[in-house]
Amino acid sequence: MIPNKNKTIFVAEATPGTGKTEQFIRELDSDPYKRYVYAVPTKVLSKDVVRRIQATGITHICIINSDTHKNVTDTVECTLLEDDPKVLVITHKTLLDLDPCYLQDWIVVIDEVPSVANNLTKDIGDHAYTNFLEKFIEIDSVSTRAFIKQGMTKEARATYSDVVNDKGMSTICTCLGALLRGKADVFIKEYVDKKDSRWKWQIRVIDYFDLSGIYEAAQETHILGANVTGTLAYQHALTKGYALEVSKFTPEYRGYKFPSYIYPLIGGSKVSKTMLLTLPNGDVAEEWNEQVYGHALLRDAIQFVQGEPILAQVHDWCKFPFEDYPNVIRMPFDARGLNGYLGVHHTLSLIHGNPNPVEDRNNTEMLAKMAVDISVGKQALRNERSREYIFQAATRSSIRTFSNDRPTIHFVPTEESGRHLAFDLTGCHYILKDLTRHAPTSNAKDKTKHNIVTAKGLSSDGFSLRSIAATMGVSKSIVSKWLKADE
């Protein structure tokens, strides 16, 4: 591997729609001998980038993903050794799977910052474990730590290649990928599920994608994004001692034509599933219904736009009757690349980025492995899981055209998220509190009751008494009392 002695990462940070990709395309003719790997978040964006590059007359371009090839990683690595193309377009997922040594002599351009956290706590059935993991893995009987069996790496890698693009095999894929990279902590244990009396396997992965290999192998690395400095990848780069400089792909600043109107739906800074499911009497509903606090928030926002189209971003457990409102367009959490809504002037985001206790424990262990300050790292993860999603949703609207004929309106969860969005959009934007409601007072705020609910939830997920105690930071005797208590 040829190290990048300067340890420099080039960053182009600018709001969506300002021309980061266009700036990259304009640079392609500046040096005919430079070759680029362009990594994007999704396959849809891959096609868009290829189309735009080809429109300039550049034909030495190749796109490789699961739609075009079966063994994506192997195909990409072989292509990187060839004399052609000039531009190779792949996804983030493929970039993270590559052996960085193949990137020598290439300039790597990463469109948007990849999520580097790769933690997992999931159960799989005995059949899945036997068919896809058992023959490759040995497990320490005391620690439950898992390893690839000696001499089985090649076979494990082949199985990983077979399942890497199968969404139904995501747990197997994450487990095998982490073990093959060799830096992860992977724990696997067998237990009997109390619900159906069947044997299951709990897989726990503490892992992250280390981009250092890419930075050091590539001729240059450029990261394009709207909020690069707020991500965990950025914090990890600082921890590793990389310097950051402005990328030549940074476009000129463009201000939005109109200020936006931002409506926080909840006062303060906190939003959670418990809060949104709180009933008028303070109890917490098990499922969404018309009486819960969150229902009123969504109703207020949707009625406010008086039938005009609005992009809505909510959790799957939010069972609001959107079908009764044909003007509402549901949008996924990750809205990057969804550029077909430039005629829509309103967005609605009612999401949170709070980890559950198991995720929080995993994150703590992962950040320690990364040598990233725990509080700084967890804030970066919250940014990625909430702030960035809200910002990307807002910029799917007509605001990204910079030529919209009216202001855009954005409904956000809290006053704090409203301030964040105003800052991220840059320029002058108004935060209006016409629809802001006080956060509900929930009976679930009683700490003991909350702990009882949490402990029972973990137990129903198959966690042992010892695991629950370790996760919640209490003794096994206390957990035992909580599990026996009435909710």
Q: Which residue has the tokens 């680029």?
A: 36
59 membership: H or E segment, kind and range: none
Q: Which residue has the tokens 């450029």?
A: 222
Q: Which residue has the tokens 């290649």?
A: 161
Binned at pLDDT 50, 70 and 90, residue 445 comes out as: low
Beta strands in 182-256 (DSSP E): 185-192, 199-206, 220-225, 243-246
Binned at pLDDT 50, 70 and 90, residue 84 comes out as: confident
**Model pLDDT for residues 147-157, shown as the tens digit of each residue:** 999 999 999 99
pLDDT at 29 over 90: no
pLDDT at 446 over 70: no
Per-position DSSP letters for 132-146, written without gaps between them: HTTTTEEE-TTT-BE
CA distance 15 to 423: 11
CA distance 344 to 323: 18
Give domain limits for the chain.
8-115+211-246, 120-206, 261-443, 446-484
CA distance 266 to 276: 10
Beta bridge partners of 244: 9
pLDDT of residue 4: 47
Beta strands in 97-229 (DSSP E): 107-111, 120-125, 137-139, 146-148, 185-192, 199-206, 220-225
**Model pLDDT for residues 115-146, shown as the tens digit of each residue:** 999 999 999 999 999 999 999 999 999 999 99
**CA-based Rg of the chain, rounded to a whole angstrom?**
24
**Model pLDDT for residues 176-203, shown as the tens digit of each residue:** 999 999 889 999 999 888 777 888 999 9
**Model pLDDT for residues 277-318, shown as the tens digit of each residue:** 999 998 889 899 999 999 999 999 999 999 999 999 999 999
User: Across residues 6-31, what is the average pLDDT?
Assistant: 88
pLDDT of residue 5: 54
CA distance 219 to 288: 52
CB 420 within 8 A of CB 230: no
Most confident of 22-31, 94-103, 470-479: 94-103
| Alpha-helical runs (H) found in 67-116 | 72-80, 92-97
User: Across residues 408-418, what is the average pLDDT?
Assistant: 97
In the three-class reduction of DSSP (H, G, I as helix; E, B as strand; rest coil), residue 416 is classed as helix
CA distance 174 to 185: 12
Structure tokens that stand for 175 in this block:
């487990």
Pick the CATH number of 8-115+211-246 from 3.40.50.300, 3.20.20.80, 2.40.50.140, 3.40.50.920: 3.40.50.300
Structure tokens that stand for 375 in this block:
């509080």
Please list, in sequence order, all residues whose beta carbon lies within 8 angstroms of the beta carbon of residue 173, skipping any fewer than 6 positions away.
160, 163, 164, 166
User: Across residues 39-62, what is the average pLDDT?
Assistant: 90
Please list, in sequence order, all residues whose beta carbon lies within 8 angstroms of the beta carbon of residue 312, skipping any fewer than 6 positions away.
298, 302, 322, 328, 329, 330, 331, 347, 348, 349
Please list, in sequence order, all residues whose beta carbon lies within 8 angstroms of the beta carbon of residue 473, skipping any fewer than 6 positions away.
none
pLDDT at 444 over 80: no
CA distance 275 to 284: 8
CA distance 90 to 427: 34
pTM for this predicted structure: 0.86
